[in-house]
Amino acid sequence: MIFTDFVQDVPDFPKPGILFRDITPLLSDPHAFHQAIEAMTRPVSPLHATHVMGIESRGFIFGAALAQRLELGFVPARKPRKLPRPTYLEAYGLEYGDDSLEIHKDAFKPGDRVLIVDDVLATGGTAAAARKLVERSGASAVGLTLFIELADLTGREKLAGLPVFSVLRY
């Protein structure tokens, strides 16, 4: 499967100078999406995760599918003020602004092994914030799997010690 056939480049989105990698063509093709989930699952199966945490919003799509495939629980890492119970909040910077993520304080417990899932790794700020949320809860982040890695933005550098798996690298 040639996954790049299912990714469209959108220049100047969400702001001038950003090249957005649109994965909606992949999501709309059931065979391609299935193959993408399989490609994201293979390298992380040996990590023996107990939970999958998907990062809002496209990380929910990949994360829920991976959780189902791995037969694990799914935890959403949401934008602020979207979760109804007490939360941990972590702020971060990204290539076009600042944002925050939250998880419920009871999402994980000590000893849980969490696989973090997102669609794209760019500067690493979002994934690093997700990792901090996992660690604040007393659980351990065991890896990050994603569909696309924008290697020239060096996001891996913010994730030292965390195994990172990507299907496509640009």
Q: Which of 42, 81, 95, 157 is catalytic?
A: 95
Q: Which of 56, 58, 78, 149 is catalytic?
A: 58
Question: Annotated catalytic, 58?
Answer: yes
Q: Which residue has the higher pLDDT, 96 or 113?
A: 113
40 in any annotated domain:
no
pLDDT at 28: 98
For the entire predicted model, the pTM comes to 0.96
Q: Which domain holds residue 87?
A: 47-169
Q: Summarize pLDDT for 7-57 with one digit per residue, the tens.
A: 999 999 988 988 999 999 999 999 999 999 999 999 999 999 999 999 999
Q: Residues 57-82: what's their mean pLDDT?
A: 98
pLDDT at 95 over 70: no
Q: What are the CA-CA distances from residue 164 to residues 7, 10, 12, 19, 169 (Å)?
A: 20, 25, 27, 22, 12
Cα–Cα distance measured from residue 128 to residue 155, given in angstroms and rounded to the nearest whole number: 9
pLDDT at 96 over 70: no
CATH of the domain at 79: 3.40.50.2020
Question: Annotated catalytic, 95?
Answer: yes
70 in any annotated domain:
yes
CB 64 within 8 A of CB 117: no
